[in-house]
Amino acid sequence: MSLFLLNILLAIAWAALTGSFQPLDLLFGFLLGYLVLWLGTRMGTPPQYFRKISLVLGLLGVFLLDLLRANIRMAILILSPRMKLRPAVVAVPLVLKSKSAIVLLINLITLTPGTLSLDITTDQSVMFVHTVYLEDPEQFKQQLLTGYEKRLQELFEG
Amino acid sequence: MLREIVVIVLIFGGAIFMALAGLGMLRMPDLFLRMSSSAKAGTLGAGLILMGAAVHFNDFGIYTRAFAIIVFLLLTAPVAAHMIGRAAHFDGVPLWKGTVQDDLKGHYRASTHALESSTIPENDCPATDEDEIPDNSEFDR
């Protein structure tokens, strides 16, 4: 986290030195700072930061694609004359322990294809997810677990 | 010229998704399905319209503001949906009769409003509004 702040500071420093705070300059400064930090910290123990940045970018990419896909699927469903519905509330066991990871997971589930997170138990061991079309409960659980939960686990508890 | 096309595509796309979410609210048979349709589309629709506005003005200050609004929308919209869904299920809002599975049933403790992973004894479960099952004859098959 402190490396991330340092990286932002380096980006601002770059923009100040070039005297231009255009978004492209800031982005370039960030990339440059990233490179410098990577070179500088290569010698000692490799920090989590560099792996985490790529994890975050990967998660963001997957999420944005999923959001678009969710909406297109929902649009097709809404426009089809005979809506194919097989709704269900499914209990999905939570593997994640960190609270912020759970919050993020629940947000992501609500925003992605056909699913809506309803609640988690007070001991944070099970979450309840509402889905628009349930084919096979086991397969559905597997899908949720392998998709986001694995990535979030790596990101928060790796 | 190119920028105008981008703006048109973004704002039009956002409007379409929002309109479809509204249509979904009308067509879906129960509260949970309606929320499924509105929670996602609202975020994407508003996000696309904001992006379109930012591209139209093409100003750094507007870009950052649009970005911040989108981030806050992504963070808060699902929380609102989650709270509404939780409250509805606790309060016994009936699920559509085509619902194939309801794992949440029997996990709320009516006396403390807590959700427990073990099953709750029958006498402490919140009651379902049996008399208010919506008429969804359109969806019968």
**Looking at chain B, which residue has its C-alpha nearest residue A77?**
B24
**Looking at chain B, which residue has its C-alpha nearest residue A137?**
B101
State the amino acid at position A37 in one-letter form. L
Per-residue burial over A86-98, b = 16 or more CB atoms within 10 Å of its CB, e = otherwise:
ebbbbbbebebee
> What are the residue boundaries of the structural domains of chain A, listed by start?
3-40, 48-157
pTM: 0.73
C-alpha torsion B133→B134→B139→B141, nearest 10: 30
CB atoms under 10 Å from CB of A21, counted, come to 12
Q: Does A91 touch chain B (CB under 8 A)?
A: yes
The confidence band for A144, taking pLDDT boundaries of 50, 70 and 90, is confident
Q: Does A70 touch chain B (CB under 8 A)?
A: yes
| CA-closest candidate to residue B81, choices A125, A85, A99, A111 | A111
Q: Could you report the predicted ipTM of this complex, rounded to two decimals? A: 0.73
- Please give the pLDDT value at position A69: 82
**Looking at chain A, which residue has its C-alpha nearest residue B140?**
A82
CB contact under 8 A, B82 and A86: no
Q: What is the pLDDT of residues B93-140, one digit of tens each?
A: 788 877 777 777 777 777 777 777 776 666 666 666 555 555 555 554
CB contact under 8 A, A107 and B78: yes
Range of lowest pLDDT (A43-57, A61-75, B85-99): A43-57
CB atoms under 10 Å from CB of B121, counted, come to 8
Sequence-ordered list of residues with C-beta below 8 angstroms from that of A43, at least 6 positions apart, any chain = none
A46 to chain B, closest Cα gap in Å: 30
> What are the residue boundaries of the structural domains of chain B, listed by start?
1-95, 98-126
Query: Residues A44-67: what's their mean pLDDT?
Result: 78
Query: Residues A35-61: what's their mean pLDDT?
Result: 76
